[in-house]
Amino acid sequence: MAYWLFKSEPHKWSWDDQVKKGAGGQEWDGVRNYQARNFMRQMKAGERGFFYHSNEGKAVVGVVEIVAEAHPDSTDESGKWECVDIKAVTPLNEPVSLDTIKADERLAEMVLVKNSRLSVQPVSEDEFAMICRLGGLVAEDVKAG
DNA sequence: GCCAACGTTGGC
DNA sequence: GCCAACGTTGGC
């Protein structure tokens, strides 16, 4: 079981927008980066990830679930790009800010810290559990299955 | 709004 | 296949 992180600028697509889409989820379209696409191809239905607000907010704000595995991006004409669908699972009780993540040496290896520009990225199981805890959630309650 | 870091493109 | 030029992302 792998864990992931999805970045979005809240004025384009926010956590609230994601929640409003409900259980049906939403295409994570518009990704035009090969690394990000390749990570999405590895995602399995039911896996969990974080929803991160970039630019404004700069914090992990919620937990999402993959509801559809990689398929062609409906906003892409070229046929090169793919995306998954995700749905909101639960907000964090307390958003976990980038500052908090950077200040915690146990999270220093996160891709979020190491490669701040990658918009879809893997998160280790330990990192997932750690951020759940910092966000006021019990990781075991949030893990899939 | 600036700019560093990174990815992509295209000329050679 | 190298690398300079350019575009984009996202933290500050």
Reported as a single tens digit per residue, the pLDDT across A27-55 is 999 999 999 999 999 999 999 999 999 99
Protein-to-nucleotide distance from the CA of A49 to the C1' of B9, whole angstroms: 33
- Summarised one tens digit per residue, pLDDT across range A3-34 is 999 999 999 999 999 999 999 999 999 999 99
Question: Domains in chain A, start-ordered, CATH in brackets?
Answer: 3-142 (3.10.590.10)
Q: Are A111 and A100 in contact (CB under 8 A)?
A: no
The pLDDT of residue A145 is 66
CB atoms within 10 A of CB A65: 19
Closest among A81, A89, A66 to A29, alpha carbons compared: A81
Pairing of strands A48-53, A3-8: parallel
The two three-digit tokens of residue A36, written as one number:
């990000």
pTM: 0.96
Is the C-beta atom of A56 closer than 7 angstroms to strand C?
A: no
The two three-digit tokens of residue A23, written as one number:
């259980």
Protein-to-nucleotide distance from the CA of A79 to the C1' of B9, whole angstroms: 19
Is the C-beta atom of A55 closer than 7 angstroms to strand C?
A: yes
The label of the residue with tokens 């899939």 reads: A144
Is the C-beta atom of A38 closer than 7 angstroms to strand B?
A: no
The whole-angstrom separation of Cα A141 and Cα A71 is 29
The pLDDT of residue A89 is 97
Q: Are A119 and A7 in contact (CB under 8 A)?
A: yes
CB-proximal positions of chain C, under 7 Å:
8-12
CB-proximal positions of chain B, under 7 Å:
5-8
Across the range A56-70, mean pLDDT stands at 96
